[in-house]
């Protein structure tokens, strides 16, 4: 009887689903948190799931619909393409966030440049800012390490706005794949509010692609090279790139470049979070992962922070000049979203993890060039320590603010 009852329930559910009408809603609102969560979910249920079911991804052709069948095409092509579309749109094209020119690490490096640096990487024209040259210097370096030229006019960002209108503000130019300037959304229609959930889900998207893109090497002909702990883009005895050994970062040219950019964005985003977006009940403050203890005064990342931007000069992106907490609540999904991203990047950056060939490739990425090594290797905190420390802050706050010890569960 139990089996028959289960079968009946299954049939009843199937019938109700079959009769349900799918309602497609057209909206002008793009919610970054929700859309990036969707992109992350279909990323995980896309190509990896297709491979787990036994499909050979090399046999899938995006131009041949439903071949060899609809399941493989949906998982291996449609899910993949939608996930990657949102990756590029949110993180480098639409402009729905704060531009990397003003990111914390870019500002720090720009301040250390010698006199006369202004204009060095921007056509020789000084404009009073080192930051744009510093960003170009980094982008050009990533391009050299991957053997890939950067696209023109991207909008790399270190913090993501909560909402925007996803329609293009102008017609897309024919060369939109190599020049992103016509792929901008209307920034006047954006809700310039920072939300840890949106920032965390977008960072998880950055991780999912960066760990795949940087998990191998390639040669000058764009042929993939499996990492073995011996082959490396580095010079002998040095973390610096060897331009003569014909080994580049990433599984191919484009992957190597994009993977580095995604990782740089995630590092700057997390540095911005702990330096500028912690809330102590009276205002926004910084929080030090090395010394933080919520028992000595809680500092957490509030649900919404509005951004006021100001123009700084012709042809330069606006700069955030004021941050104001508009919703001081601590949202469980926000905190878990960001923790999801930091824990995964921590795993990727771990110098002691050689559990998979991809980690052998990651070691070359986080050994000092292109990204700093860990404190255990240099005595100075690096991206690994940043992600580990931020994870600690988030977890401690989750336990202090969201864990109900009576019921043994997390609550909002």
The CA-CA-CA angle for residues 311, 326, 169, to 5°, reads 45
Look at residue 20 in the predicted model and tell me its pLDDT.
Answer: 56
Q: What is the pLDDT of residues 388-406, one digit of tens each?
A: 999 999 999 999 999 999 9
Mean pLDDT of the chain: 93
Q: What is the pLDDT of residues 215-254, one digit of tens each?
A: 999 999 999 999 999 999 999 999 999 999 999 999 999 9
Look at residue 21 in the predicted model and tell me its pLDDT.
Answer: 65
Rg for the chain (alpha carbons), in Å? 23
Q: What is the pLDDT of residues 355-378, one digit of tens each?
A: 999 999 999 999 999 999 999 999
Cα separation of 325 and 3, whole Å?
A: 55
* HSE toward the beta carbon, residue 366, CA cutoff 13 A: 34
Look at residue 136 in the predicted model and tell me its pLDDT.
Answer: 98
Residues in the chain: 412
Cα separation of 29 and 391, whole Å?
A: 31
- Which among 72, 127, 138, 128 has a CA at the least distance from the CA of 103? 138
Q: What is the rounded average pLDDT of the residues 266-287?
A: 98
Cis peptide before 161 (omega within 30 of 0): no
Cα separation of 262 and 170, whole Å?
A: 26
Binned at pLDDT 50, 70 and 90, residue 314 comes out as: confident
Look at residue 9 in the predicted model and tell me its pLDDT.
Answer: 41
DSSP string, 230-251: S--SBPTTSSSB-TTS--EESS
Q: What is the rounded average pLDDT of the residues 85-103?
A: 96
Q: What are the φ and ψ backbone dihedral angles of 334, each rounded to 5 degrees?
A: -55, -50
Q: What is the rounded average pLDDT of the residues 4-23?
A: 49
Cα separation of 192 and 98, whole Å?
A: 9
Q: What is the pLDDT of residues 112-133, one digit of tens each?
A: 999 999 999 999 989 999 999 9
Q: What is the rounded average pLDDT of the residues 243-270?
A: 98
Look at residue 234 in the predicted model and tell me its pLDDT.
Answer: 97
Could you tell me the two tokens for 264?
A: 């740089």
């Amino acid at each position: 009887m139990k089996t028959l009852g289960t079968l009946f329930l299954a049939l009843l559910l199937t019938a109700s689903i079959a009769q349900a009408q799918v309602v497609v809603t057209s909206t002008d609102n793009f919610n970054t948190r929700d859309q990036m969560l969707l992109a992350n979910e279909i990323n995980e249920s896309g190509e990896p799931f297709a491979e787990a079911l036994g499909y050979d991804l090399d046999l899938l052709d995006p131009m041949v619909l439903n071949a060899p069948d609809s399941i493989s095409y949906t998982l291996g092509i449609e899910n993949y393409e939608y996930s990657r579309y949102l990756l590029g749109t949110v993180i480098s094209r639409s402009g729905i966030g704060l531009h990397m020119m003003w990111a914390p690490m870019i500002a720090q490096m720009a301040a250390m440049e010698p006199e006369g640096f202004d204009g060095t990487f921007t056509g020789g024209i000084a404009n009073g800012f080192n930051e744009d040259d510093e960003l170009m210097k980094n982008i050009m370096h990533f391009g050299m390490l991957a053997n890939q030229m950067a696209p023109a006019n991207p909008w790399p960002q270190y913090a993501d706005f909560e909402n925007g209108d996803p329609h293009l503000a102008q017609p897309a130019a024919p060369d939109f794949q190599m020049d992103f300037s016509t792929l901008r959304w209307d920034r006047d229609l954006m809700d310039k509010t920072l939300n840890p959930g949106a920032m965390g889900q977008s960072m998880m998207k950055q991780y999912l692609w960066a760990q795949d893109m940087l998990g191998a090497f390639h040669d000058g002909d764009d042929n993939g090279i499996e990492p073995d702990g011996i082959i490396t883009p580095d010079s002998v005895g040095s973390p610096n790139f060897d331009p003569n050994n014909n080994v580049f970062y990433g599984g191919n040219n484009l992957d190597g470049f994009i993977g580095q950019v995604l990782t740089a964005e995630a590092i700057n985003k997390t540095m911005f979070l702990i330096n500028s977006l912690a809330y102590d009940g009276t205002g926004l403050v910084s929080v030090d992962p090395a010394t933080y203890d919520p028992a000595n005064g809680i500092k957490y990342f509030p649900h919404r922070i509005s951004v006021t931007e100001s123009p700084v000069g012709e042809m330069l992106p606006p700069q955030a000049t004021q941050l104001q907490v508009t919703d001081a609540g601590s949202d469980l999904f926000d905190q878990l979203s960001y923790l999801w991203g930091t824990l995964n990047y921590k795993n990727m950056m771990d110098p002691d993890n050689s559990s998979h060939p991809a980690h052998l490739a990651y070691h070359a990425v986080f050994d000092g060039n292109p990204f700093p090594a860990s404190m255990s290797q240099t005595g100075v905190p690096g991206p690994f320590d940043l992600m580990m420390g931020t994870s600690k802050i988030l977890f401690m706050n989750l336990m202090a603010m969201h864990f109900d010890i009576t019921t043994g569960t997390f609550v909002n």
